[in-house]
């Protein structure tokens, strides 16, 4: 059976992910609260639906890319939602970054209707979504994963099944812990170097090939030095992810002290009206404490 794909959630990440599916030749039906993105992709060949239920009625695979746990619950389980329109044999792929226990709750409700589910959160930000090079962490049954892998391969360079439903979001939380801590450490290291009078571009060039090198450093250091905090992944969403990590750690008896610290930094930045900034702006909190600003020297602008 050829996949008829529904896609709900056309934000910074969802729109380019859906566009890549269109480019790959998949029949796509879209729904989004904001109509501008829907109309843009409709002009490129996608069909339009007016509710999650209608998307499911037209699709045998429904992908969701939503901000948080309550959004996934509402769109999938709520009135006029996906489960009201999905038929036996449909598959839901929730690519939102949400609490693992919520993924499992949704999966149980879907299973009662004969519907399979994968939780498949992603990492790679807007550039990865545009390029189709996301890292996709998948939880769900092996046969469901195998059936959906060609679809996921269109959107990601690395697609790994990590366990049953909920496992994908546990691994995504682990990813978010490491990314947040890495950006905070970049802020500390570059603030120290800047205050010592060393050009951050030279610091970047000196350390990027060593053990401190990372994808986070490659992606975020140039943005920081250019003072470009336009969102690829928003502060408020990373704060939400770390909150979910802390709640999951509490449930499992795992202390997460550094995660807690960075989550508080993100909360402080949100209180300064920086919720919509890119998460590279974590460094702004460190800069303020050091009374320094990380930027290229005048000669390198």
Q: Report the distance separating Cα 99 and Cα 166, nearest Å.
A: 8
Residues 6+ apart with CB under 8 A from 101: 166, 248, 251
Q: H or E segment at 156?
A: strand 156-163
The encoded tokens of residue 257 equal 């002290």
Give the gyration radius of the chain's Cα atoms. 20
Q: Do residues 258 and 178 lie in contact, with contact meaning Cβ atoms separated by under 8 Å?
A: no
User: CA distances (Å), 65 to each of 10, 31, 75, 121, in order?
Assistant: 7, 11, 10, 8
Reply yes or no on whether 113 is catalytic: no
Query: Inter-axis angle of helices 100-111 and 235-252, to 10 degrees?
Result: 80
**SS3 state at 29:** strand
Per the residue annotation, which of 15, 113, 141, 172 is the catalytic one? 172
Residues labelled as active-site residues: 172
């Amino acid at each position: 059976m050829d996949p008829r794909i529904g896609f709900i959630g056309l934000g910074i990440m969802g729109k380019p992910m859906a566009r890549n599916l269109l480019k790959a030749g998949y029949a796509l039906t879209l729904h989004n609260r904001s109509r501008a993105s829907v109309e843009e992709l409709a002009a490129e060949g996608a069909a339009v639906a007016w509710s999650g239920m209608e998307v499911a009625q037209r699709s045998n695979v429904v992908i969701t890319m939503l901000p948080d746990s309550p959004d996934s619950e509402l769109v999938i389980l709520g009135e006029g939602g996906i489960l009201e329109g999905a038929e036996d044999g449909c598959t839901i792929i929730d690519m939102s970054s949400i609490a693992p226990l919520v993924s499992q709750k949704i999966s149980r409700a879907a299973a009662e209707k004969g519907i399979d589910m994968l939780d498949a959160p992603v990492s790679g930000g807007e550039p990865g979504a545009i390029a189709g090079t996301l890292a996709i962490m998948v939880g769900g049954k092996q046969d469901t994963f195998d059936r959906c892998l060609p679809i996921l391969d269109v959107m990601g360079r690395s697609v790994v099944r990590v366990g049953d439903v909920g496992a994908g979001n546990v691994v995504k939380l682990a990813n978010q812990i490491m990314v947040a801590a890495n950006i905070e450490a970049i802020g500390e290291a570059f603030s120290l170097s800047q205050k010592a009078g060393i050009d951050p571009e030279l610091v970047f060039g000196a350390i990027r090939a060593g053990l401190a090198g990372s994808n986070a450093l490659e992606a975020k250091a140039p943005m920081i030095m250019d003072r470009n905090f336009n969102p690829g992944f928003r502060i408020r969403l990373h704060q939400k992810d770390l909150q979910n990590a802390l709640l999951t750690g509490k449930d499992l008896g795992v202390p997460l002290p550094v995660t807690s610290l960075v989550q508080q930094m993100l909360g402080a930045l949100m209180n300064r009206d920086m919720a919509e900034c890119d998460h590279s702006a974590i460094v702004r909190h460190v800069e303020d404490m050091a009374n320094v600003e990380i930027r290229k020297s005048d000669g390198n602008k």
